[in-house]
Amino acid sequence: MSRKVVITGVPGVGKSTVIDGALERLKELGREYWPISFGTAMFELASERGLVSDRDEMRRLDQDVQKELQSGAARAIAQISDDVIVDTHCTVKTPGGFLPGLPIWVLEELKPDVFVLVETDPDQILGRRILDESRIRDLEGYGEIRTHQEFNRFIAASYAMVSGCTVKIINNPDFLLEKALADLVEVLR
């Protein structure tokens, strides 16, 4: 029976680093997951439709368009029969407010087994965002990042209520990546 593990975190928390490191360790243990970026799946659909030219434009799309893209991405991922890590955002900050990254129609398609929140101190996230020249990010301060992480916890609880999956919080502070990797490997075993 395949597992669907959803891993989330606010931009700059180091989610991709934690996922990549855990996947390497799991491979050494003979356990493999297929990593899928939910945002990339949505971006590919949006690109095919000529709606965006880069991923950073995605969060500025009309809410109804984002919903359509979410549904299409969920259907595509649900077809995969292997163990899957779905790398996504719990919520997306849009001009109109927070948009659930995995609304009920997405959860019903994916049927996740585990929901993982990667978190760390907002000051560290802010520092990581400033140093990351590969992305164009909205300017946010400590308070906004803290609010986003807190809101993600509330939404993760609601996702668990709807889907029946568990929620695990993994802390990824600076200089303690090894602990975060070990924690995620334990969840994925």
Residue predicted with more confidence, 177 or 101: 177
Kindly state whether residue 108 falls inside one of the protein's structural domains. Answer: yes
Residue 157 lies in a domain: yes
47-97 confidence digits (pLDDT tens): 999 999 988 788 789 889 988 998 999 999 988 999 999 999 899 887 888
Classify burial at 149, counting beta carbons within 10 Å of its beta carbon; exposed 0-12, middle 13-18, buried 19 or more.
buried
Range of the domain at 146: 4-36+82-188
Task: Decide if pLDDT at 135 tops 80.
Answer: no
Tell me if 170 is assigned to some domain.
yes
Q: What is the pTM of this model?
A: 0.87
pLDDT of residue 136: 66
Pairing of strands 97-100, 84-88: unpaired
Q: Residue 7: which pLDDT band, with cuts at 50, 70 and 90?
A: very high
The CATH number assigned to the domain holding 119 equals 3.40.50.300
Each residue of 94-103: b (16+ CB within 10 Å) or e? eeeebbbbbb
pLDDT tens, position by position, 92-119: 887 888 888 899 989 998 999 999 999 9
Task: Tell me how far CA of residue 80 lies from CA of 44, 45, 104, 111, 174, in angstroms.
Answer: 17, 17, 19, 12, 34
45 found inside a domain: no
At residue 137, the pLDDT reads 66
pLDDT-derived band at 132, boundaries 50, 70, 90: confident
